[in-house]
Amino acid sequence: MATSAAERFAVEAASADALAMAKPDSAVDRDLLAYARALLTPPPKRERVWPALAAAGLLAVSSLVFAVAMVTAPPLHTEHAIRDAVE
């Protein structure tokens, strides 16, 4: 049951023709159609950075203000070391 080279070539040619005929012929170029669809898609929405940057800046300024207030504020309990040392 060996097939000859001519029979194998005929089967391969027939299958290649069947694959070529299975593709529908179209006047529309698929690459250009994909490019046009890509142009029609809306651009992706970008996240805004300004709100996060403003919140970080406000946090930095408020922490500096609280640090300055802690350094410059007088202590709550004041004792004179000299008066305690004399007694």
Average the pLDDT over 61-65 and give the result: 98
All structural domains of the chain with their residue ranges: 53-86
Dist CA 56 CA 49 (whole Å): 11
Separation in Å, CA 39 to CA 2, 36, 45, 48, 79: 56, 5, 15, 24, 77
Dist CA 18 CA 30 (whole Å): 21
Stated pTM of the model: 0.42
- Backbone CA torsion sign across 50, 53, 58, 64: negative
- Dump pLDDT digits (tens) for 8-28: 766 666 665 555 555 666 677
Separation in Å, CA 4 to CA 12, 13, 17, 76: 13, 14, 20, 108
pLDDT grade for 85, boundaries at 50, 70 and 90: low
